[in-house]
Structure 1
């Protein structure tokens, strides 16, 4: 099966693939030989297109080289389900999001995921389950274009925990949502979060915003 990797820049995506994407006419092709994520970042932000792709013979090797060419920041977070079957979301920067944060020095990935969820939402994680997926997005950190790799885990928490948004991190709301009532999330979240929801089958009957 052909390998594919996604790098998100806000609402936009760069698809690294070994084959032409479906609906290729909707994508703008980038040159694999001259591609430099740090240089092209500003150009992509200004470009009216949302979908870009790089075709390469070995997507895994190419993506590994891309990661080596830029500062990589590792983060971890979780999709939390309570005993009522509801899912936990935070509201930050005018978007619905999932709790996550940077992995501290000498901290394990799973440990960081649990800590960030508990700190940002004011809950206690009662169970840490399987890893859902990894997502990658580019942003500017202290004037430097960086790539953030986020490890996502499925978690459980008791519904009786009182929610408390970590306001110093810009979180203004924390809320439980029924699976059947996550339309506000789908309509106002990041494509990378949609990837997580899609992996957990919370989004099945909608086209992902940046699907290839």
Structure 2
């Protein structure tokens, strides 16, 4: 299954007809993908399942229209098992950014966390998951593919938000504080945090 977001609404590419959400189920071969995207943008759909007999093939068809942009990000925990959050454009988020040319994804993920949060002494633990969302940049259709890593930092240095990137606050949050932050965040971030919680079970 692939879950691709547009405006926080999911397009779920699946080989199953047993679906949990009350979203319409459409057959990938019978739809015009851009029409589905427009229905999600205009609130006609809250989400949609696209049934596929070959999800890898059909996902590659989407990537031919929406060119992939690879990014890396981190869910960073400290010694108290708090999670590092940033506040940007009115929402709580996790640090992430585009991987530079010639840079490994893991390296880019660590660099972005360091730059956006003013933090050091980061160790990368494992890949949590990859999230996807569609956007248009300067009339170019893009598929942002973000590789999220579980990271750890024992640094006690003062956190410093990267203001030029629109980040106004950086802080570690306890479990209770995270529950509140998740009420004002993106669907992708909820997936990342849930994947971290699943590791603890």
| TM-score of the pair, normalised by structure 2 | 0.91
Structure-2 residue corresponding to 1:207: none
| Partner of residue 119 from structure 2, selected from 106, 111, 123 | 123
Structure-2 residue corresponding to 1:155: 151
State which drifts further: 160-169 or 32-41: 32-41
Structure 1 Cα separation of the partners of residues 199 and 125 of structure 2: 20
Query: Deviation at 1:22?
Result: 2.6
Structure-1 residue corresponding to 2:98: 102
Structure 2 Cα separation of the partners of residues 54 and 14 of structure 1: 7
Contact 1:74–1:149, Cα closer than 8 Å, also in 2:
yes
Query: Deviation at 1:185?
Result: 1.9
Query: Deviation at 1:34?
Result: 4.9
Query: Deviation at 1:66?
Result: 1.8
Structure-2 residue corresponding to 1:208: none
| Structure 2: runs of 5+ lacking an equivalent | none
| Partner of residue 22 from structure 1, selected from 19, 22, 29 | 19
RMSD between aligned alpha carbons? Answer: 2.0
2:90 paired with 1:66: no
Structure richer in helix, relative to its length: 2
Structure 1 Cα separation of the partners of residues 8 and 199 of structure 2: 18
Structure-1 residue corresponding to 2:133: 137
Structure-1 residue corresponding to 2:7: 10
User: How many residues are matched?
Assistant: 200
2:82 paired with 1:86: yes
Change (3 A) 1:94 1:45: same
Contact 2:66–2:134, Cα closer than 8 Å, also in 1:
no
Structure-1 residue corresponding to 2:172: 176
Change (3 A) 1:150 1:37: farther
Query: Deviation at 1:134?
Result: 0.3
Structure 2 Cα separation of the partners of residues 135 and 103 of structure 1: 15
Change (3 A) 1:36 1:168: farther
Structure 2 Cα separation of the partners of residues 46 and 125 of structure 1: 44
- Secondary structure of 2:110's partner? helix
Structure-2 residue corresponding to 1:45: 41
2:170 paired with 1:196: no
